[in-house]
């Protein structure tokens, strides 16, 4: 059973001599409750792949399936609705709204999805408590540290109770202490059965996953299964390429 699946997924930019195959015939399956880390050098296509999986970019070819729905065939309106209801996003640059408090930033996706304001406020407060920021609920992003802003972003990604959380370099702008706090949070999500797909160049982040997939030049070049991922590298099995 899979919750997220790519079939011969392609993304191309330019044409003729300037053609770039950012994602080249990628097949990928993610099971419910699984944490998958996608690693590789800068420019290998891993962020583009994540954006395709989340419906943030349109593929040149191939298929993207979320549960029993094909994202690549949806209209922009349908895609927007699906992202609000079934996907959560965490980005390296946080993408918080500067004029909104931490709680208002977390509430926002729920309100856009039609959740009643009182319910959205209750969910947001509970999520901020969960990520250790209940005492920062009324602070603006400028008054928060980088690690705190990223934890607000994770809470925001969870407000819609998504099938899958997609994270693009979530620790890329954080110091070691903030990275450790965010990784503990991802570890708790994994333990609770939240499906996670994380693009990262950080070995500490990759070590929290059940599977680590290596990407090079737009293709998937290998896979490492981490026995009991989430607490460290453990025993590596099934390494290809």
Per-residue pLDDT at 236: 31
Strands 4-13 vs 61-66: parallel, antiparallel or unpaired: antiparallel
SS (H, E, C) the chain: CCCEEEEEEEEEECCHHHCEEEEEEEEEEECCCCEEEEECCCCCCHHHHHHHHCCCCCCCEEEEEECCEEHHHCCHHHHHHHHHHHEEEEECCCCCCCCCCHHHHHHHHHHHCCCCHHHHHHHHHHHHHHCCCHHHCCCCHHHCCHHHHHHHHHHHHHCCCCCEEEEECCCCCCCHHHHHHHHHHHHHHHHCCCEEEEECCCHHHHCCCCEEEEEECCEEEEEEEECCCCCCCCCEECCCC
pLDDT in tens, 101-146: 999 999 999 999 899 999 999 999 999 999 999 999 999 999 999 9
Listed in sequence order, the residues at least 6 apart from 192 whose beta carbon sits closer than 8 Å to its beta carbon are none
Domain architecture of the chain: domains with CATH? 4-229 (3.40.50.300)
pLDDT in tens, 64-94: 999 989 999 999 999 998 998 899 999 999 9
The separation between CA 35 and the C-alpha centre of its own chain, rounded to angstroms, equals 10
pTM here is 0.89
Length, in residues, of the chain: 241
Task: Give the residue from 82, 100, 57 showing the smallest Cα distance to 163.
Answer: 82
pLDDT in tens, 11-23: 999 888 889 999 9
pLDDT in tens, 152-175: 999 999 999 999 999 999 999 899
């Amino acid at each position: 059973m899979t919750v997220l699946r790519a079939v011969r997924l392609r993304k191309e930019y330019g044409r003729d001599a300037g053609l770039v195959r950012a994602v080249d015939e990628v097949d990928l399956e993610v099971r419910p409750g699984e944490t998958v880390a996608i690693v590789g050098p800068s420019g290998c296509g891993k962020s583009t792949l994540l954006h395709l999986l989340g419906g943030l970019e349109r593929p040149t070819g191939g298929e993207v399936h979320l549960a029993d729905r094909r994202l690549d065939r949806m209209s922009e309106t349908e895609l927007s609705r699906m992202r609000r209801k079934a996907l959560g996003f965490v980005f390296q640059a946080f993408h918080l709204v500067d004029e909104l408090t931490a709680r208002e930033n977390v509430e926002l996706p729920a309100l856009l999805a039609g959740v009643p304001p009182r319910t959205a406020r209750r969910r947001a407060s509970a999520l901020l408590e969960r990520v250790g920021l209940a005492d920062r609920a009324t602070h603006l992003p400028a008054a928060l540290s980088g690690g705190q802003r990223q934890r607000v972003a994770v809470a925001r990604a969870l407000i819609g109770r998504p099938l899958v959380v997609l994270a693009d370099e979530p620790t890329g702008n954080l110091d070691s202490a903030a990275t450790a706090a965010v990784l503990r949070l991802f570890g708790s999500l994994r333990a609770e059965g939240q499906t996670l797909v994380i693009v990262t160049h950080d070995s500490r982040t990759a070590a929290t996953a059940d599977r680590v997939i290596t990407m090079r030049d737009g293709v998937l070049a290998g896979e490492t299964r981490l026995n009991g991922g989430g607490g460290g590298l453990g025993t590596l099995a099934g390494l290809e390429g």
